[in-house]
Amino acid sequence: MTRSDRLKPIRQVAQVRERDAARAFGDAQRRLQEEEQRLTELEAYRNEYLQRFRALQQQGITVAQLLEYQAFLGKLEAAVRHQEEVVQQRRGDSERRMAAWSERRTHTRAMDRAVENLTQAEVKAGEQRDQKAQDERNQRRR
């Protein structure tokens, strides 16, 4: 078994790990986008609610309504802050997954180059052996 043949299973493992890391990165990106979308929706709802509150203030509202709107706005603000934290966590996870995938990809490329270089060296060595054998046969004929 040649050296390049011995490295091929290791290269295959590296390729599988790279695919797994790429899949994990893709999943992390998808989760990040979902959480960013939720944040956008929450912010839009909060802004819409604020506009309604301001419109009602201009028309005149009771103290009870004012307190109710303020309490709900406080809950919306808390939800937005919480969602911002979730987005930051997902962004960090996505960045870590991207770094892991990049590292795996670099390792796989290095394994590919090593196998390719060994294969080329083996082909060259085989050609040199064949040429030497041919030269020796030609020498004997003379």
CA atoms within 13 A on the CB side of 92: 5
Contact status, residue 33 vs residue 122, Cβ threshold 8 Å: no
For residues 128 and 87, what is the distance between their CA atoms, to the nearest angstrom? 61
Q: What's the total number of domains in the chain?
A: 1
pLDDT at 135 over 90: no
Does residue 53 belong to any structural domain of this protein?
A: yes
Q: Determine phi and psi for 21, rounding to 5 degrees.
A: -65, -40
The pTM of the full predicted model, rounded to 2 decimals, is 0.77
Residue 141 domain flag? no
Please check whether residue 39 lies inside any domain of the structure: yes
Give the integer Cα–Cα distance in Å for 106 and 83: 34
CATH number at residue 20: 1.10.287.1700
Is residue 52 scored above 70 in pLDDT?
A: yes
Q: Is 140 domain-assigned?
A: no
The whole-number pLDDT of residue 142 equals 67
Domain that includes residue 111, residue range: 3-135
> pLDDT tens for residues 76-131?
999 999 999 999 999 999 999 999 999 999 999 999 999 999 999 999 988 999 88
Is residue 142 included in any domain, yes or no? no
Strand, coil or helix: what is 142? coil
